[in-house]
Amino acid sequence: MNIELVDTDARLRDVLAEGEGCAAVMVDTEFMRRNTYYPKVGLLQLCFDHDDGEEGHAWLIDPLALEDTAPIRDLLTDPAVVKVLHSASEDLEVFQHWLGVLPQPLFDTQRAAGLLDIGFGVGYRALVHDITGIDLPKDETRSDWLQRPLSDAQCEYAAWDVILLLRVWRELRQRAVQQNKYDWIVADGADAVAALQEGPANFHQRLKGAWKLRPRQLAALAALCRWREQTARDRDKPRGWIIDDRACLQLAEAEPRNEAQLNAAAELHPAARRRWGKQILQLLAEQRDLPPSEYPEALPQPLGARQRSELKKLKGRARDIAVDLAVAPEALMQSRDYELLLREAAGERV
């Protein structure tokens, strides 16, 4: 296996020049995300497909040693080069925060496996074994990728990820072309990129039980969730380190007006109460002054028995369509979208 650690700007430019003319590049990242909101990139792995049947060369790019990352941004956004990743969602977050760009066009081998009816949500090790018969080691899965120097074991582990991804890509590309599904997979990748570019919104809608709140309470919850999200980003800390979901719901429901009521209303960590208590009370006071016209729309109640029966039928119909198309049923539509379809058909606002 050919491996090279690239830790200078000059060598990076040379490596990317060697990859010019390739139709696809295998991409992976190693990162840390234990005590931060944003992922901290520790390594970027590349392997160019020269379409010559050769194994390929693993280029391990050290982001901690680079000053000029523009060549990487240019590669990731080059429309002539397909970027091949497996289960790309977290890698996309890495690129968005680190480089401010997202890889396009994108061929996600996990999503491809679903559309090719190999299996939905297949892990990388399982897919590699299915296609190549090789059992990937997982010794370095929880390794510290921000340490320097990287160990030989870390470098070998990281290199295998893109070397074997090249074999997986070649096989899946062939099957996709044979089944006339290649464009489906690339379009699916474009949808994933577009969804991340739009960014998450309405954080309060994700909290279980939020539908029970009255309109004014829901406005308070929405404001708390927006404040928590921005604070987590500004401080680069997990949102649960600011206040957790349970506390957000408790505060929105109780609408405390002073410190004593705040202490009684929510199970806040003492440090969070000291740091954020006055801000939270001020935020809640502002929401009490909102006119009803500015309250968020009520959230739908859980599906009733009849709707659950309809949902089951809808999923059954989707399975039939999936069989006809030879795709994994889950690849057609996310689970939550079935409920949205039902509610829209019933005239509910969703």
Burial zone of 264 (CB within 10 Å; 0-12 exposed, 13-18 middle, 19+ buried): exposed
> For residue 93, which of 200, 7, 188 has the smallest C-alpha distance?
200
From 49, 117, 161, 339, the catalytic residue: 161
* Cα–Cα distance for residue pair 256/266, rounded to 1 Å: 9
Instruction: Say how far apart CA 323 and CA 345 lie, in whole Å.
Output: 25
Is 91 part of the annotated catalytic residue set? yes
Q: Are 35 and 57 in contact (CB under 8 A)?
A: no
Give yes or no: 28 in active site: yes
Catalytic annotation, pick one of 37, 49, 62, 91: 91
Of the candidates 30, 117, 171, 244, the residue annotated as catalytic is 30
Concerning whether 30 is annotated as a catalytic residue, the answer is yes
Alpha-carbon distance 170 to 177, whole Å? 11
- The active-site residue out of 157, 171, 182, 244 is 157
265: number of Cβ within 10 Å: 19
End-to-end CA gap in the chain: 52
DSSP 3-state of 41: strand
- 161 catalytic residue (yes or no): yes
Q: Is the peptide bond before 105 cis (omega within 30 degrees of 0)?
A: yes
Q: How far apart (Å, rounded) are the C-alpha atoms in residues 106 and 104?
A: 5
Residues belonging to the active site: 28, 30, 91, 157, 161
